[in-house]
Structure 1
Amino acid sequence: MESSRLDRRKAHTRAALIRSAQEFLAEGNSAATIREITDRADVGFGSFYNHFASKEDLFDAAVLATLDMFDEWRAVATVGLTEPAELFATSYRFALVLVRSQPLVARLALAVGPRILTIDRGFRQGALADLTAGVAQGRFVGDPQHLFMMVGGAFLGTAQLLLEDEDLDAESTATDLARRVLLMLGLDRREAERISAIELPPAPQA
């Protein structure tokens, strides 16, 4: 019993440190000190090194934890879908809609910048798998790696726009971009419009 209580306390401390690091990264403050990070996390300074060897290790863990959220959201958005174009477009649209409902995640991803497109977790992992399957099945045309960098760049640019312009409707913007991306990937207009109109689940709130 005492062991399980200790494990829960350790998990809580680690999660608090990661959340604090995510907030600093989302604010563009990668220069935050360990003291500032532990103060915001409301944990003792000495506890830090029980979980991470350095601030850089913590920041890496914070980025990976953020990317892993995309896997969870992708699973929610694509329930019942198996066709690669539908999987790709639906998860792509849902991730863009989440820019508004999950601003911390969006700001962190944008703060990391294009490097986030090279980390094989979360967004990249799922989208690249869909693009690879789509090319193999003749749905998409091109090299999957090159296609991913193109659609990933469009995603980051549109995410920045959604954060800066509150008058833009997130869902209609995401749908329009997904339709255009599908056309670029090789689908015809009718199919691109059908797939980009697949109903999305409610976006989880922060």
Structure 2
Amino acid sequence: MRSNPASGPAFWTCAAFTLFSALVSAAFSLLSLHMAGGHEYALYAASRSVALPLAVLYALFLRSRQGVSALAVTMTLVQLFDAVVGFELHQPGRAYGPLVFAAVNLSLMLWMNRNTDRRSDYMLCRNRVQDLAAWHKVFRSHRAAQEDAGLHLRNMWASLGEPNNIFFLFQIDSVKTARQFIDDPRAAEAGKASGVLDGEYHFLTALPAIKDLPASRP
């Protein structure tokens, strides 16, 4: 099961460039393999390079922010080492390209993770439903739409003694887009189709650390 799939311009831009960088690296490895006439060392190098774009595609399939981050760092290091090789061969023209790729990949990865860290607003929702399994099936079918609207599911609970009274928490990119998602007539239709009897939602924001809170007055 894919939990909390990533989305947003920063994620897709970083993932796309990381994939492009991995494909370029694999293409050069395959070209070197051809020029080396199938030498065993070139075969080993090519097998590792071809594995990288496949790994990026898998992280994209999972929509995993952590996976894309790890592979972005990997491709940054690969391009940096390629640049070192270019300088060692006294061919700076073959080093500048990898340096640019490394700088862009690292910048996009930092942008993606900075956008994630900035989200500190939440939406707490409650639904009382007729049938939990039927409701959950409809709820899961709308995960992609929720993510596209900047709603990132963080947890889900059921009331003790009343398992059909469900609470769930979204971390949200924007209160405005979250309201637009809720006010969309399709959201009401989905609630009706899933058997929601009644519900409510509240927008919340994270408090600072307890030590930073102002002292209460008696």
Asked whether the two chains share a fold, i.e. TM above 0.5, the reply is: no
Normalising by the residue count of structure 1, what TM-score does the alignment of the two structures yield?
0.29
Q: Which has the higher helix share?
A: 1
Q: Which has the higher strand share?
A: 2
Higher RCO, Cα 8 Å, sep 6+? 1
